[in-house]
Amino acid sequence: MRKFLKKITKPEIFLFCLLILVAGWVRFQGLSTLPFFTYDQARDALYIKRILDGKLRLIGTQSSIPGLYTAPFYYYLMAPFLLIFSLNPIGIDLGIAFFGLLTVGLFYWLLKKETGRIFLPFIFSFLFAFSPQVVEQSRFGWNPNLLPFFTLLFIWSLREVFLKEKEKFLVLTAFSLGMAINCHYSALALLFAFLVLIFLFRPRFGDKKNLTFSCFLFLFFLSPLLLFDLRHGFINIRNTWRYLKVGAPGKIPPPPFFFGWREKISSLLGMVFNLSQGLKIVLVFLSFLGGALLLFKKSKRKTFAGLVWVVFLSGTFFASLYRGSLFFVLPDFSLSCRFFIRRRFIGQS
């Protein structure tokens, strides 16, 4: 810790404090008026109050697939915030804003560790912190709004496990992955990426204790759902199987196994690059190949870039199995980057 503190310079401390203070202001100001309070927020506040009253829950919110529920640990995570503010629902919004602020700090710190610089991480963290959709999703209680924090925590723990060969961070990987899936089932894409990396780097795991404990920790975060299914005729499993066969009637078609990835890739890349379908496919193939090769480079920064690409592309492949609508943080972030580049280097507004 002392070595780490000695490396921090005064300009870095100033920039980081400035980033956190301003990012905190845009997230916390005006929350006392409950600017976004709908049925979902009222329902969650009621469920959390019941937990505080001693009525524990085994399921969370219903997903976009009818009859399929998430695990309940989002409610348990928000319970202390509701309790501190005397059951006022604003406590949940403040809890989400707090984790949103932690996300900005974690984003900066991760970039700082990889680049070894000060100003570049600050610029991109600033753009991320003030992306309109990122700010909006940091200002009201909703389980998917915690995904950015746990996703970044997951990527950082993967970095320590696969790049630094610190197997003890497998526990943090299991924790962040379990919490992310509790927040929203889209985080299953991270599980898919993690399994890909385990397969690629399996010879590195000498001590099986950390891996075994991490597996049990991950299963712990999903255990309430299993207990609920045991009590209610395996309702989640049956509804999942029905979705895989016929989809969600009237809402979402069944998964187009191995064929939906082009649609998801097009929607993701179309937000940043105006390319033809053929060029998008070529770009994706080259990116995946380049990311896989970078994983085995001796340079830690190149290897980290490869790890991020594998997480992104394998997650996109997994997302291709879901044909419902997705919402993205990327559009506003990319627009912010474009605005900064035009103002800084081209002189346009």
What CA–CA distance (Å, rounded) separates 84 from 86? 6
Give me the pLDDT at residue 249, please: 64
pLDDT at 306 over 80: no
Q: Say if residue 168's pLDDT is above 50.
A: yes
Q: What are the residues whose beta carbons fall under 8 Å from the beta carbon of 314, sequence distance 6 or more? A: 189, 192, 193, 196
Whether pTM > 0.75 for this model: the answer is yes
* CB-based contacts of 142, cutoff 8 Å, min separation 6: 40, 41, 44, 96
Q: How far apart are CA 158 and CA 306, in angstroms?
A: 12
Percent of the chain with pLDDT over 90: 31
What lies within 8 Å, CB to CB, of 34 at 6+ separation is 89, 90, 93
Q: What percent of the chain has pLDDT over 70?
A: 68
Band of pLDDT at residue 211, cut at 50, 70 and 90: confident
Is it the case that residue 339 has pLDDT exceeding 50? no
Mean pLDDT to the nearest integer, 138-153: 92
Name the more confident of 244 and 302.
244
pLDDT per position as a tens digit, 1-32 = 455 555 667 778 888 889 999 999 999 998 88
**pLDDT digit string (tens) for 262-273?**
565 555 555 444
Reported as a single tens digit per residue, the pLDDT across 87-139 is 999 999 999 999 999 999 999 988 888 777 778 888 888 888 988 888 888 99
Q: How far is CA 345 from each of CA 131, 271, 336, 338, rounded to the nearest angstrom?
A: 20, 22, 14, 10
Q: Quick check: 23 and 82 in contact, CB under 8 A?
A: no
Q: How confident is the model at residue 322 (pLDDT cuts 50, 70, 90)?
A: low
Q: What is the CA radius of gyration of the chain?
A: 21
